Amino acid sequence: MGFDRKISILYVITKLELGGAQKHLLSLIRGLDRERFNPYILTAYDGLLVDAAKQIPGLKLIRCRFLERPIHPVKDILTLFFIYRFIRNNNIDIVHTHSSKAGILGRLAAKAAGVKNIIHTVHGWSFHGYQPGTAYYFYLFLERFCASFSSLIIVVSQWDKRKAGQQLSGRQDKFRLIRYAINPEEFRDEAGGSRVRNEFGLSEADLIVGMVACFKPQKSPLDFIELAGVVAKDFPNAKFILVGDGVLRKKISALINKLNLKDRVILTGWRDDVASILSCLDVFVLTSLWEGLPIAVLEAMAAGLPVIATDTGGVSEVVLDGKTGYLVKPHDIQALQKRLEELLTKPYLRNEFGRLASLSLGSYEYSSDNLLKNTTQLYLDLCFRG
């Protein structure tokens, strides 16, 4: 198949919120060669990154009022037909989906519309060990079915690729590893770090522990508050910053009140200056229960921070236990406490872990050039094969 025009690509993502999948996708679209590609993005009507998407030259933004993260049979069917009609009316050559729900609906619509080139990027599988059995097997069935007619599936971690080999049927050469792109220079913002400390009334003597995450069960932010409660007792100068928002906010606020942590925990809400916030931290923590490869960890490492993270998904591929940070089991507050208190009492260890963490992300594998080159080549290979 040859092309005498631009290749039209429809990206489908559930919601343009401040998450790893969303940042990854917008970074990719910004770098696309507009002489070769004509990009569209179809997403939910609202989202914190909608304005950022609008500002990308040459990108056409389509917002669907029916598309939302929770399962809603009527809205989901309407979304499916919305995507189908858009594909049929706009001569789409490639449908490239991101995030779990958009990955299912977008691929089903693309198949129904006769699209030959269907790609999905996995940002963590929709099936995981914290689901009831019926939900687990329902999502596994959907992933297997959609994988059967997907042209390619991109994963961001080796863990997700192994998971596919164990759980999904079909040819394993469909799965390609392309890492998230991180620019370490963007996360070296010392002036911004000082500004953030001043904004929140933090002194230079304070030890700041932070986490960036959506307030949803996957990220287990209540564990972060539990950790703050036990560590605060022995470290009067320790303060805790939780960046994000979501469905668990009320429970988080209630737990902060219950543990008398109002003066020790700062809830910032969503922020567009994450690099500045990271620059004011001494230690970064992530308490997720399941992951693909959390971009928040990569950003913290790029900022030169030691990381304490739960050993889930592909986290162990980037956080080297005892070298760039520490890995603990999910929900293990005691282990989190032990590792955090060790880092808070040993500044030399924080500095060494942070230095090695930053160096480890300097490889081409995590560069924007790698993301763009490899993804673009996949598009061209699909469109010009045979």
Q: What digits encode the pLDDT tens for the residues 201-259? A: 999 999 999 999 999 999 999 999 999 999 999 999 999 999 999 999 999 999 999 99
Q: What tokens does 258 get?
A: 């219950």
Residue 273 sits in the same domain as residue 190: yes
Q: Which of 180-189, 273-282, 311-320 has the lowest mean pLDDT?
A: 180-189
CATH, residue 105? 3.40.50.2000
pTM for the full predicted model: 0.91
Q: Which of 96-105, 170-179, 191-200 has the lowest mean pLDDT?
A: 170-179
Residue 164 sits in the same domain as residue 202: no
Give residue-wise pLDDT tens across range 304-358: 999 999 999 999 999 999 999 999 999 999 999 999 999 999 999 999 999 999 9
Residue 176 sits in the same domain as residue 188: no
Residue 270 has pLDDT above 70, yes or no: yes
Q: What pLDDT sits at residue 169?
A: 64
pLDDT band, residue 2 (cuts 50/70/90): low
Q: Cβ(41)–Cβ(54) under 8 Å?
A: no
Q: Residue 80 sits in which domain range?
A: 7-181+367-384
Q: How far apart are CA 339 and CA 322, in angstroms?
A: 10
Residue 338 sits in the same domain as residue 376: no
Overall average pLDDT of the 19-31 stretch = 92
Closest CA relative to residue 273, chosen from 180, 192, 173? 192
Residue 175 sits in the same domain as residue 290: no
Q: What pLDDT sits at residue 170?
A: 58
- HSE-up (13 A, CA, CB side) for residue 40: 20
Judge whether 20 lies within some domain: yes
Residue 199 sits in the same domain as residue 338: yes
Q: Cβ(18)–Cβ(49) under 8 Å?
A: yes
Residue 273 sits in the same domain as residue 138: no
Residue 351 sits in the same domain as residue 372: no
The number of helices, as runs of H, and strands, as runs of E, in the chain is 14, 13
Judge whether 1 lies within some domain: no
Residue 124 sits in the same domain as residue 191: no
**Residue 321 carries which DSSP code?**
B
Residue 37 sits in the same domain as residue 166: yes
What value does the mean pLDDT of the chain take? 93
Judge whether 165 lies within some domain: yes
Residue 193 has pLDDT above 90, yes or no: no
Q: What pLDDT sits at residue 41?
A: 98
**Percentage of the residues of the chain whose pLDDT score is greater than 70:** 98
Residue 79 sits in the same domain as residue 161: yes
Distance of CA 298 to CAs 110, 187, 329, 361, Å?
A: 32, 10, 19, 8
261: which residues sit within 8 A by CB, 6+ positions away? 225, 228, 229, 232, 240
Tell me how many domains the chain contains.
2
Residue 136 sits in the same domain as residue 270: no
Judge whether 114 lies within some domain: yes
Judge whether 2 lies within some domain: no
Buried b (16+ CB within 10 A) or exposed e, 89-103: eeebbbbbbbbbbbb
